[in-house]
């Protein structure tokens, strides 16, 4: 059985850990508020650009644009959004598990796919497994801007356009609420179902031409999808970390209560033993 000193030391260390997790919970809650606002503020822009692209795609005869045309799949790209740090519960592991399962189901060789990694956890995961990580971005700020991922987004879209691979999937955690995040798979390219997703769209007149605007707007739209998923994923990351730290704090409080009870019982037993020994010694002297 542990000594009173050992139990006391463990109570002290657990209290210090609890203070740290409580502080991290509060910091994540603060970051979550801003991240959620950023993600929500981006939704109207995404809705409008998708509406315009859908209107052009359905109203033009330029169906031969590579970003709108399906082709035989010889190689697939996966863009995976994770965090740079752990201590976020199952936030990273759920996404990585989903990507790994999809890769195992679709491919028999590592030559059949490439990885774009946003976040250190995802990059390190695939590098250790020998996957072809052709581009990665790490050390992103808690409130990222498009400039932070501009290069990887443009490279991902450009390599599809020039035929390096034939489809692009994106995996990230979709923010549902502060206590719920859903792993999401989204097919970014080719944009074959954008008109179906939008349904009826408004009527537009394009100048100089729909085809010329489509040439510029389609890459921007695909890049916007990636940035929107990053904002969504950041909100999910902060929510997951807040929940994980809350659980850690609650577990630490429960452990402190249990250890305090054990400590008090052990101290009472020691005092009782001392009293018994004193009484026994006094009786022996009579």
pLDDT exceeds 80 at position 206: no
Decide: 183 and 173 in contact? Cβ < 8 Å: yes
Q: Encode pLDDT of 27-36 as tens digits.
A: 999 999 999 9
Q: 4-22+245-285, which class in CATH? A: mainly alpha
pLDDT exceeds 60 at position 1: no
End-to-end Cα spacing for the chain: 35
Confidence of residue 149 (pLDDT cuts 50, 70, 90): very high
Alpha-carbon span 277 to 65, nearest angstrom:
93
pLDDT exceeds 70 at position 169: yes
Query: What confidence score (pLDDT) does residue 4 get?
Result: 82
Decide: 201 and 80 in contact? Cβ < 8 Å: no
Query: What confidence score (pLDDT) does residue 203 get?
Result: 66
Three-state DSSP string of the chain: CCCHHHHHHHHHHHHHHHHHHHHHHHHHHHHHHHHHHHHHHHHHHHHHHHHHHHHHHHHCCCCCCHHHCCCCCCCEEEEEECCCCCCCCCHHHHHHHHHHHHHHHHCCCHHHEEEEEECHHHHHHHHHCCCCEEEEECCCCCCCCHHHHHHHHHHHHHHHHCCCCCEEEEEEEEEEECCEEEEEEEEEECCCCHHHHHCCCCCCCCCCCHHHHHHHHHHHHHHHHHHHHHHHHHHHHHHHHHHHHHHHHHHHHHHHHHHHHHHHHHHHHHHHHHHHHHHHHHHHHC
pLDDT exceeds 80 at position 109: yes
Decide: 171 and 151 in contact? Cβ < 8 Å: no
User: Tokens 């609890």 appear where?
Assistant: 18
Query: What confidence score (pLDDT) does residue 121 get?
Result: 95
Give the Cβ contact number of residue 202 at 10 Å: 9
What is the length of the chain? 286
250 or 49: which carries more pLDDT confidence? Answer: 250
Confidence of residue 195 (pLDDT cuts 50, 70, 90): low
The CATH 1.10.287.80 portion of the chain extends over 4-22+245-285
Confidence of residue 186 (pLDDT cuts 50, 70, 90): very high
Q: Encode pLDDT of 57-87 as tens digits.
A: 666 555 567 788 888 889 999 999 999 998 8
Q: Encode pLDDT of 150-164 as tens digits.
A: 999 999 999 998 889
Architecture of domain 42-243: 3-Layer(aba) Sandwich (3.40)
The CATH 3.40.1380.10 portion of the chain extends over 42-243
Q: Encode pLDDT of 242-261 as tens digits.
A: 999 999 999 999 999 999 99
pTM: 0.85
Burial track 162-177 (b if 16+ CB lie within 10 A, e otherwise): eeebbbbbbbbbbbee
Q: What is the mean pLDDT of the chain?
A: 86
pLDDT exceeds 90 at position 212: no
Q: Encode pLDDT of 221-232 as tens digits.
A: 889 999 999 999
């Amino acid at each position: 059985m542990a000594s009173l000193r050992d139990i006391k030391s463990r109570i002290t260390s657990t209290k210090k850990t609890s203070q740290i997790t409580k502080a991290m919970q509060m910091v994540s809650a603060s970051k979550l508020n801003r991240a959620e606002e950023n993600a929500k503020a981006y939704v109207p822009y995404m809705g409008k650009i998708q509406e315009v692209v859908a209107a052009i795609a359905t109203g033009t005869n330029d169906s031969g644009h590579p970003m709108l045309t399906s082709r035989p799949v010889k190689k697939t790209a996966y863009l995976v959004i994770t965090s740079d740090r752990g201590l976020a519960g199952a936030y990273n592991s759920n996404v990585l598990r989903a990507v790994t399962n999809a890769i195992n189901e679709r491919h028999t060789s590592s030559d059949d796919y490439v990885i774009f990694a946003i976040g250190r956890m995802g990059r390190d995961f695939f590098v250790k497994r020998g996957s072809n990580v052709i581009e990665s971005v790490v050390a992103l700020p808690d409130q990222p801007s498009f400039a932070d991922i501009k290069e990887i987004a443009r490279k991902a879209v450009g390599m599809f356009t020039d035929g390096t691979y034939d489809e692009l999937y994106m995996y990230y955690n979709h923010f549902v609420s502060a206590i719920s995040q859903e792993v999401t798979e989204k097919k970014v390219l080719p944009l074959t179902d954008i008109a179906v997703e939008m349904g009826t769209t408004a009527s537009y007149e394009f100048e100089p031409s729909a085809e010329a605007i489509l040439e510029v707007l389609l890459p921007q739209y695909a890049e916007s999808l990636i940035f929107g998923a990053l904002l969504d994923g950041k909100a999910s990351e902060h929510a997951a970390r807040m929940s994980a730290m809350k659980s850690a704090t609650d577990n630490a409080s429960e452990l402190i209560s249990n250890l305090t009870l054990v400590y008090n019982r052990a101290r009472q037993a020691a005092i009782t033993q001392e009293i018994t020994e004193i009484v026994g010694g006094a009786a022996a002297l009579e």
